[in-house]
Amino acid sequence: MMKKNSIERISSRQNPYIRWVISLRKPEQRRTEGFFTIEGHREVSRALENNFQVEMLFLMDSVAFQTDQIGRVCYLPPEIFAKISSRENPDGILAVASFPPNSLPNRLPAGVLVLLAEGLEKPGNLGAIIRTAEAVGCDLVILANPLTDIWNPNVIRTSQGAIFGQNITVCSNSEALSFLRKNNIPIAITAPDAQRDYWDAFSSDSLAIAVGNEHHGLSEFWRGNADLSVRIPMCGKTSDSLNVSIATALCLYEFRRTHP
């Protein structure tokens, strides 16, 4: 058992902990070990506030941070901290945390808002969508067949730590559909040929808003199982689509506007 709040100083670039943190940049390494990195004061603080299990904390010399919730704390000189950081101007705080549980809840109450994102592949878009979902008060985010790792450092950074306060699960399309049907949650998608505008369509008390891959949109699986199709009007002469994070924000906030 690791001694509570063990503190040490690392002065070698070849230290095993340094090599370990660097190895966690690779998604296959994260999946194999069940650990991921969190960088930044705001992000680490939000992870701790939401009871994520932080195994180790790396602090640049002279950086102050509350450490009583963390088993092992390592102080590093700036040149070694820069080696483990993935940021251009790091604030000197980086943590290693273990994966949280990943499962769909047994049931959802009535009157819920669910975001379903299928096949997202850009970490920046995924992080921005999670940040918006948390801000709007989504009850659940389902990542169906994602093409990027949810614990990618760029997802965490773009979400600005909101990922730690949002209920998120990763599953297959079929698992997600079964769950939504079991909970009687209708599914809404956006489509350019839909007849109803998004601001005049969200009347049900519960709703799952489904968004798709950046290049190909939603698959036939979700288009075929949707209960409602809405459009986001495009008035310009050149643009024929919106970035997925923008389209998601419009739909989520419209539902929340009519269901405060």
User: Could you say which of 64, 98, 132 is where a domain stops?
Assistant: 98
Domain membership of residue 184 as a residue range: 113-258
* Shared-domain flag, residues 69 and 198: no
A 10 A CB-CB count for 29 gives 14
Query: What residues contact 127, with CB distance under 8 A and at least 6 apart?
Result: 154, 155, 156, 157, 158, 159, 160, 163
Number of domains in the chain: 2
Per-residue pLDDT at 185? 97
Which residues sit opposite 230 in a β-bridge? Answer: 190, 196
pLDDT digits (tens, 9 = 90+) for 116-127: 999 999 999 999
What CATH number is attached to the domain comprising 228? 3.40.1280.10
* Shared-domain flag, residues 61 and 121: no
> One-letter amino acid identity for 98?
S
Per-residue pLDDT at 1? 37
Per-residue pLDDT at 68? 83
Residue in 235, 238, 145, 240 with CA at minimum distance from that of residue 190: 240
Q: For Cα atoms 216, 220, 221, give the angle at the middle one, nearest 5 degrees.
A: 120
What CATH number is attached to the domain comprising 39? 3.30.1330.30
The structure's pTM equals: 0.93
Per-residue pLDDT at 4? 58
